[in-house]
Amino acid sequence: MKILIIGAGGMVGRKLTVKLQGAGALNGQPITALTLADIFAPEVPQGGIKTTSVAADLSRDGAAEELLAERPDVIFHLAAIVSGEAEANFEKGYRINLDGTRLLFEAIRQAGQVEHYYPKLVFTSSIAVFGEPLPAVIPDTQVLTPLTSYGTQKAIGELLLADYSRRGVFDGIGIRLPTIAVRPGAPNKAASGFFSGIIREPLAGLEAILPVAETVRHWFASPRAAVGFLIHAAELNTATLGQRRSLSMPGLSATVGEQIEALERAAGLDAVALIRREPDAKIIEMVAGWPKDFDSQRATDLGFVGDSDIDEIIRIHIADELKGKIGRGAA
């Protein structure tokens, strides 16, 4: 089995690569080749599988064709310009997130017209396809109402995925990832960054800024759960999906206050004391339009497994990123 990961240089892509390298197989079949693609050639982790790293701009004519030259059996399409950048740079967001995705889908269609080619394609969508007004708990039948260009591009990707799958071009599945927490690494400028920051920074003995009220509710998954969703999606028999090829993953609904209580259980009041309240009107307004909770029964019925609680999300971060140690200098 040959696997292609587009967007392999990102945080989730790197963790997926390591997981596949470790497993050595997908859906019971040995992985014979792994191709990692991103705008910069991704680092190749140590492992027994023959792995190739490629720098590719999916929006360049011919780039998708090159990535498909080996006819991968499974394609993970994780590549995207993220929310903040797609909002700041309208043209770049549409070029990569919409045109890039469409060029990939078209290249698969063209390949299939020359010879038999019918890969499994896992597309990462996002809860950013939903925006207020929303019901308190969002069902899988909810209309997609993105309030960002990024969310719009992901919603369009879902529609294209469904149509190309219906046409028999590939066997597609789209999974809407919750906000990933705890996201490792340095704080970034994403408006959602504080959801990770208020856990990650105090666990490392550093100060974190909380720009919203503790009553704010949001929808989370650990990086480990996200990788699990991707692998389960690749292994899933999509006949069970019908024509509805995209679905919301089983995240965890929690308030900022509940996050802080879990932080206290994990690292004590000293850690909690490192959270500095600094209300930011712009972030407060943005976050107010974001989804808070989902009915992910459909995904659960299909065997997707999320995190059990915020305490587990914190334990995963401590185990996977901090080698089990907390406090200053641990990260």
Binding site for its own copies (CB under 8 A): 90, 131, 133, 135, 140-147, 149, 152, 155-156, 159-160, 162-163, 166-167, 242-244
Compute the distance between CA of residue 64 and CA of residue 158 in angstroms, rounded to an integer: 19
Residue 89 Cβ, how far from its own copies at the closest point, in Å? 12
Contact between 97 and 29 under an 8 Å Cβ cutoff? The reply is no
In the residue annotation, 164 being an active-site residue is answered as no
Q: What is the distance of C-alpha 4 from the center of its chain?
A: 16
Both tokens of 24, joined, read 């050595």
Nearer to its own copies, 158 or 321 (CB): 158
Cis peptide before 137 (omega within 30 of 0): no
Residue 127 Cβ, how far from its own copies at the closest point, in Å? 14
Nearer to its own copies, 125 or 222 (CB): 125
Nearer to its own copies, 163 or 293 (CB): 163
Residue 28 Cβ, how far from its own copies at the closest point, in Å? 31
Compute the distance between CA of residue 17 and CA of residue 321 in angstroms, rounded to an integer: 16
Amino acid at site 274: L
DSSP β-bridge partners for residue 307:
none
Q: What dihedral do alpha carbons 89, 200, 174, 99 form, nearest 10°?
A: 20
What length is written for the chain?
Answer: 331
Residue 51 Cβ, how far from its own copies at the closest point, in Å? 35
Nearer to its own copies, 69 or 143 (CB): 143
Residue whose tokens read 């919603």: 155
Residues with a catalytic annotation lie at: 150
